[in-house]
Amino acid sequence: MTNGKPEFPNNWKEIYDADPDEFGTCTFGEFMQATALWSIPSSHSCIMRVENTDTGKVKEYAYRRTHAAVKRIAELVDDPANVITICDDESIHYLVHPQNERYFLE
């Protein structure tokens, strides 16, 4: 545990090294339907993922109270390097600063 929060292992290496035959196949329609189905626990308001395009680091935050998420967004949105993805029960929002050179040409 760090900072009183449990750590969850990131098992990306196991998935990356897995044989492709271990994964089932699906049609494009099935894939698109699966991407539209998500659910957030009723105890949470939203989940936020922040990618810093300068450093390549990704941080994820889960919020139980909307005002706490709004406060975090206000802190993060001014940095042009931050790409913010916010997921709530009804939608997914993708926020990119207009000066982020990775996504926009000047």
Going residue by residue through the chain (106 aa), what tens digit of pLDDT does each one get?
456 666 667 777 888 898 988 888 889 999 888 877 778 888 999 999 999 988 989 999 999 999 999 999 999 999 999 999 999 988 889 999 888 877 665 4
9, amino acid identity = P
Query: Count of domains in the chain?
Result: 1
Q: Which domain holds residue 22?
A: 12-96
Read off the pTM: 0.67
Predicted pLDDT of residue 62: 94
Predicted pLDDT of residue 52: 92
11, amino acid identity = N
Return the percent helix, strand and coil in the chain, to nearest 5.
25, 25, 50
Predicted pLDDT of residue 4: 66
Predicted pLDDT of residue 64: 94
Nearest-angstrom CA–CA distance, 97 and 104: 9
Predicted pLDDT of residue 106: 42
Q: 79 lies in a domain?
A: yes
Q: 102 lies in a domain?
A: no
Q: 72 lies in a domain?
A: yes
Q: 6 lies in a domain?
A: no
Q: 103 lies in a domain?
A: no
